[in-house]
Structure formats: C-alpha cells, structure tokens
Structure 1
Amino acid sequence: MSRKKTQYAEVNLNQSPTRPACVSVEQTDHLLNDDETQYPYLNNLCPPRHLKILKNQEWLPHQQRYLSILLDMEAPPAPQICMSCGGDGIYRCRECAYWPVFCTSCCWAEHKLRPFHRKSSLRLAGIVIHLGHAGQPFITNDEDEWEDVEEDRGPTHLRPPKDRSCLVVVHTNGIHYCNAKYCTCVGAEDSHLQLTMAGLLPSLTKQPRTAFTFHVLDDFIRDNVECGTSAMNYYSKLQRITSNGFPHLVPDAGPGELVLFCLACLQPGVNIPKEGIDLSQWTFARTLVMDGNFKAEHMHPTDPNNEVWLMDGKGFMVESMPYKEYLKGSTNVVERSDCSNHCAVNHANANRNQLASTGISGCACARHGCFVPHAMVDFQKGEQQVNMDYALVHAMWHGLEPDQRVIHFYDINCQYSKNLAHQLKVNQFISMLAGLTIQPGIGLWHMHGHQTECFVQYAPNFIPGVGHVDGEIMETLWSSLNIIPPSAQGMATPHQQELFDFQMNDHNFLKMV
C-alpha cells in the first residue's frame, strides 16, 4: 500500500460519520470477527490489509510484561533455591524447561546422562562421562600418563583440566570441556569406539581429545543445505554460544581443518601409529594425483575491496593472502618439453583478461578419489608450474611424515618433475618436507599421448607399491564438480571458493559413507 493510500484509510477510520471517532484495537478486532454486512463502511473506507495490521498488534497491551519476563530470564532468580531439594542453588540449566536452578548434588543427579546441557560447566559440577558401560559409573585405573594441556586465562569453565579426562566435545549449544573415563575392563573396545557408541564421533582413532556429537554434525548439514551456512560461520556461532564475552578462548580451526579427508589413506597419528613401524615401505606410501580444471572460471569481482572471507583457507581452497604473496614473489619456470605437445602446456599460455581465474587445480588421493584439504588453487593465466607447485607442496604437508614415500601422478610429469626439487629448494615461500621421496607417474589414459620412453618410466604398471591404480581418478572428480562453475562465475571470490569447499567436502563425505 502506498503512503498516500495508508493516510487516506487512517483519516476515514478516525473521522467517519458512520462510526465512533475513536476505535480501539479491541473494538477493531470485534469488528473483524463480525459479519461485514453489519459494517459496510469497513469495505469502503479501509482495506482488509490495514485491519490485519491492527489485529497483529494485539500483543501491545502486554509488551511490558513480555519485557519483564525476558529480563527475568537473563538474571538468576531471587532467592536462588534448588528446585529439587530446596537448598542453595548455584547452577541454572538453560537447556531444561523453565531454566531451573540446582545445587551441586542435584545438578549432578539430574544431568549425569545429559552432560551437554548448557550451564557454566557441568564439569565443574562433577559430571563425568562414563564410556563403555552405557553411562553407568565404574572403577577405572587412571595411572596411565597423558599429555598435559596448557591452561588458558579466562573464565573457569573455559579452562581445560590438565589430565587425561579432558575431552573437548562440540555440540549444537557450543564447545564443552568434559570429564571422560574410558572402560578398561578386559576385552573393552578402543576409546574411539567407546565414544562412537556414546553418540560422539572422535576426531582421531588414537588417544582422541576432541569429539563431535552426531546432533551437531546433522545440524550443520541442515544449516548448510537450507540456509547456506559455511562451516566457518557455523563454528563461529558455536564459539559465541560457548562464550559470548571470550570467543577467542574457544579452540579455533587451522588450515584445512573444517573439511574431511580420506579415511582409507594411511596417515600416521590418525589411522596408523607414528612409532614402531617402517613408514618408508611402499605399503605405507601415499598416492596422489594432480590435475587442472578449466571449467571453473571466475569473472573479475565488481568490488574486490568489500569482499568478506568467512572460511579462508579452512577448507580445500588455499588461504588467499599467502597465495597472492607467493605468486607475486615467485617466477614461473617453463621447462623445455622434449615430449609431446600436451593440452596442459597449451593452457599454461592462455590469458583471458575478462577472467580473474581461468580455472582451479589441486590434489586428490589417487586410490580413493578424495580431495586433499588446503591443496586447491586457482589459475590466473593458465595451468602454470608456479600454481601446481603451491598445490602439491600443501598436499604433501597434510598428514605425511618425512620418511613416508609419495607416488605422484600428473599428466605431464615427464616435464613437470624435471627440476621440481631444485625449484622448491630455492623458493622462499614454500618448501617440501625434508627427506621426502617422490615417485613421479603419469596416468594410463594420458600416457598414450607421450613418447614410448615415458611408458616404462612413468606408467603405474611399473611403479612398486602403487597397486591397481590408473592415475586418472581426478577426471571423474571434475565431472561431478563441473555442474557448479556456471552458476559461480559471477559470484564474489569468497562465495565462489566456499561453494567449492562445500561441494568437495560433500564429495569426500559421500566417499566415506
């Protein structure tokens, strides 16, 4: 309704000779509920939408009471009496109905099976998560040594204890420091399996210190699908819920830590031990494949100075500013090719001024086809070696040990791997793990475009430890991802990269399940 029409309706309502000069909200509601034929001036002088606005204001007479109730909820009740025993109440649960107040003993009794209800801290009330016995207390031996956790300054409930009982649990209502005791009975399951049976997904399989409730994992997926919430935004929300005054004390995520990687690839400290085994054996080698995708083009942003990054470097795409500084300070070295003329070499010389990015590239595990976190880069001119070096180095730093071997597939590896070690050695921005052994390879499909001499040297058929791998799985990953780039070409740069992060993370997740 225009402003002129609204004013006309108001004038008629207040000055009509066929109705009282002043009509209250309650009287207007009465008119709305009666037969319109009894009050014909309603149809002539006031449109129905205006009357609906008046009806929607029926809460106004109670606004002070609403405000009083909301303010009462922000402060402890007076007096603070435990609702169970009538004693001195010191804990108020915001997850229970009516936010009841409990004393320490009653709080423990009411919440021993609800350890993630939001208060100052259920750990301070003595709540312990007993694992392996369906939540029931049991006798355990706590003499095993455990790595100490440094205590941070800040509120008491944000300080983790310095013993093995400290378990960081991420739930829908924030991040919790919990006391946890694992079952040590004969034949007991491993600690990570005890957590899983309790509805907690551990971050590691050996000595887990962090776990995620299945509720928070489901809640994030729903937020992402329905509301477009990024993982970085979702975790920031959990930080604010945990401590609105001290969000910086809540554990933060590092590069690539907000996305999933392959569960089957051998990762020391994750699914195989770091000590006691010879990681240099070919059976523990990491197989990687690297390739570029020229469908993922991106146009120049309209206002790059006002772009806001929400998940910069926390997913699969590398962090923006270090990558820009690397490109600015590094020279692209073009190796002289003594093999066939490949498409990747031709694309390296492509330059389209209307595009900010001519494509993306990165690494995935060659056996299972999972994208490697924080190892995806974009192209500025084409598939240049300077771009590929940055992606490869960050893939090597993800979950690898120096004595582990790496089998690396790339469609022009006969040219790319010539002086790779020297180029990385003299580069001041990136460096490879010291002592890392890299075996270059070429996928079987691209091998047919090479010279005969390349077949024996680079084909996966002749590389020890590679198994039955064709080295071409990256092509299948691009085919599913290429549905997205047409709709993402004109997006802001952060939005486009977060979209790629989510799609790659969903791809890795589907591989796991």
Structure 2
Amino acid sequence: MDGCMDAINDVLATSKREQTTADNPLLVWLSGHDDYLAEMLQMDGRGDYTSDTCHKCCSAPALDCTVCNHLWSPTHCIKEWTGSFFMATSLKKLGLRIQLGHAIREICILPHKSFNDNFVLIDTNRIHEIAVDFCACETSQTHTTQLLRMGWFPSTTLDPRTAVMFRLLHHYHILSFESKASAYEFCHSLVRITDNVGLIKKDHYESFMCMVHEWRHLKMLKHFGHGHNPVGVSGTQEGECAVLCPACPQPGKNLPPD
C-alpha cells in the first residue's frame, strides 16, 4: 500500500511542476523529425558527392575506386546509379575479385577460381555472391586454411563453395542463448534481407547448421585450452570439457569428508 501511495505522489508532483523535455522526449523529437527523414534520404542517395570521379583521389573514376577500396570489405552492399534511380548490384558484377593466400593487393601468379566461379559468403548484413581466387602456388595452403585466415568459416573441407564470416557465427551463438532464435528463423531473416522474397535455400540452411555445430565445438575446445595441447584435440579425455555443476556433490569441494 505504501508503494502505491508513493507512486501516486510522484505522479502528482510531476503534474504540478513545470514540464521539461525529459518528460516528453517523443514530443520533442517530433518537432525535428523532418531533419531525421532528410538525413536518411541523403544516406540513400549520393549525399554531397555528386561528381563522377572518386571523392578521395579526385582523379580516377568513382567506379574503379569503389571496386579497389572494397578489397578490404567485400561484403558491403552496393547500389548503382542508373541516371534516375539506384539499382541494387553486387561488387562481383562490378568486377571485384578477392585473392586468397596473399596479402591484399599482392598478385598471385597461379590464381585458381572457386568452383564454377560462384562462391557464397554469408555475413550479418546478407548473403553475398563473391568472386574468389584461391592461391595455387607451390607454397600455398589448403583452400580451407586460406578461407579461415580471412575469417571465413568454410562449409566443407573439400572444395568449399560456401563460407560464413566468423562474426556471424559469434553473433548467432550469443543470439541463440539470449533470444532462443532458431537457426531456421535466423537464416530466413538473412534471406529476407538479401532479396525480400523469403525463399530459403535448403543447402544454405543445412550448411549453416553444420557450421554452427562445428563452431560451438571449436569454441568449447578453445575455452578449455585444448588448442595448446601438444598432442592436439585427439588427446582430449572424456569429461575434460565439462562444466562442473555447483549444485552437485563434489568430494573435497562442497561435500564434507564424512
């Protein structure tokens, strides 16, 4: 009863004093929502850069620099100006190719295209089709290792054609604990973001489920220090990665000697 009276008194006190912006933040925001909308529209457009040349070097065509600069960020979503509207496109269509096994901008003398030159990379913002060249030099690593060193988790160990960004696996790992979102719903959301049709491909879902299981297994081994075991993961004994339950009797810990 005392709690209810205190709440009523607080409401009465607020009504008696002069109203401030903290009392009605939405009403204050409505007075400037035109500015918010205008800035959102500017972000969808060309903004302050309306020239056909790159705004950084001010000499090369903007398209050429766009492709070159995205060697560091191949999963950005790109739209191309047609003269009257923006049309969704991809960096692959604009000519971007990602060379694995070498430092960025370093030329490989024996590039090897992915199967059918059609590689799928799944990131937090959408599902991307990327042109990928594996390194086939004498000192090159396996295709799996080349992908992992880019932070891309391959779906298979032999001739991988699909990969998931490490950050996406970490994102879903935490999301599944906090929101209990299923893998199917998560994949379906990515498909919606990509084409807004919602027709999820069975192979994408099955590949994602497999990679999630592998990711969680590897994270468990890493957190328990088995990545530094001289004999490798095969030396892990039964129960070494189990988390002790504080409620279960443990002799010498929470169980008296008698």
**Cross-structure match for 2:44:** 74
Q: Which residue of 2 aligns with 1:200?
A: 152
Check if 1:239 corresponds to 2:187.
no
Q: Which runs of 5+ in 2 are unaligned?
A: 1-10, 79-88, 215-237, 244-258
Show the counterpart of 1:494. Answer: none
Deviation, 1:178, is: 0.7
Q: 2:32 is paired with a residue of what secondary structure?
A: helix
1:134 to 96, 99, 103: 103
Residue identity matched to 2:72? L
**For 1:177-188, what aligned pairs fall within 5 Å after superposition?**
177-188=129-140
Which structure is larger by alpha-carbon Rg, 1 or 2? Answer: 1
Distance change >3 Å, CA 79–CA 186, structure 1 → 2: closer
1:69–1:53: structure 2 CA closer, same or farther, 3 Å change rule?
Answer: same
Q: Deviations over 1:440-487 (max 9, x none)?
A: xxxxxxxxxxxxxxxxxxxxxxxxxxxxxxxxx9xx9xxx9xxxxxxx
Q: 1:232, 1:258 within 8 Å by CA — same for their partners in 2?
A: no
Give the Cα separation in 1 of the matches to 2:15 and 2:36: 34
C-alpha distance in structure 2 between counterparts of 1:108 and 1:259, whole Å: 32
> Match for 2:108: what amino acid?
F
TM-score by length of 2: 0.62
Shift of 1:180: 0.8
Residue 111 (structure 1) aligned to one of 61, 70, 94: 70
Aligned-residue identity in percent? 25
Matches within 5 A, 1:454-469: none
| Alpha-carbon distance in structure 1 between the residues aligned to 2:65 and 2:205 | 43
Matches within 5 A, 1:276-315: none
Aligned to 2:231: none
CA–CA distance in 2 between the matches of 1:211 and 1:229? Answer: 21
Deviation digits for residues 27-53 of structure 1, max 9, x if unmatched? xxxxxxxxxxxxxxx948537899743
The 1:205/1:257 distance shift into structure 2, 3 A limit, reads: closer
2:200 matches 1:214: no
1:132-186 deviation line (CA, Å, top 9, x unaligned): 11333312255x8x76xxxxxxxxxxxxxxx3x3210011111111111111111
Deviations 1:471-513 (A, max 9, x none): xx9xx9xxx9xxxxxxxxxxxxxxxxxxxxxxxxxxxxxxxxx
Q: Which secondary structure state, in structure 2, belongs to the residue aligned with residue 53 of structure 1? A: coil
CA deviation after TM superposition for structure 1 residue 76, in Å? 4.3
Query: How far did 1:84 drift?
Result: 2.6
Looking at both structures, which has the greater relative contact order when contacts are Cα pairs under 8 Å and sequence separation is at least 6?
Answer: 1
Aligned to 1:84: 56
Superposition deviation, residue 241 in structure 1:
1.8
**Matched residues in 2 for 1:215 and 1:74: separation?**
26
Deviation at 1:85, TM superposition (A): 4.4
AA at the equivalent of 1:59: W
Aligned equivalents of 2:124 and 2:37: distance in 1? 27
Which aligned pairs between 1:71-470 and structure 2 lie closer than 5 A? 71-77=41-47, 80-81=50-51, 82-86=54-58, 103-119=62-78, 120-135=89-104, 136-140=106-110, 142=112, 163=116, 165-244=117-196, 246-248=197-199, 251-253=201-203, 257-260=207-210
Superposed displacement of residue 80, structure 1: 3.5
Secondary structure of 1:235's aligned partner: helix
Report the Cα offset of residue 202 of structure 1.
0.7
* Alignment correspondent of 2:28: 58
Distance 1:139 1:189 in 2: 15
The C-alpha deviation readout for 1:385-411, integer Å capped at 9, x for no partner, is xxxxxxxxxxxxxxxxxxxxxxxxxxx
1:70 counterpart letter in structure 2: M
Structure 2 SS opposite 1:259: helix
- Taking the aligned partners of 1:51 and 1:124, their CA distance within structure 2 comes to 49
Would you say how many aligned residue pairs link Structure 1 and Structure 2? Answer: 194
1:77: how far off? 4.4
Measured after TM superposition, the shift of residue 217 of structure 1 is 0.4
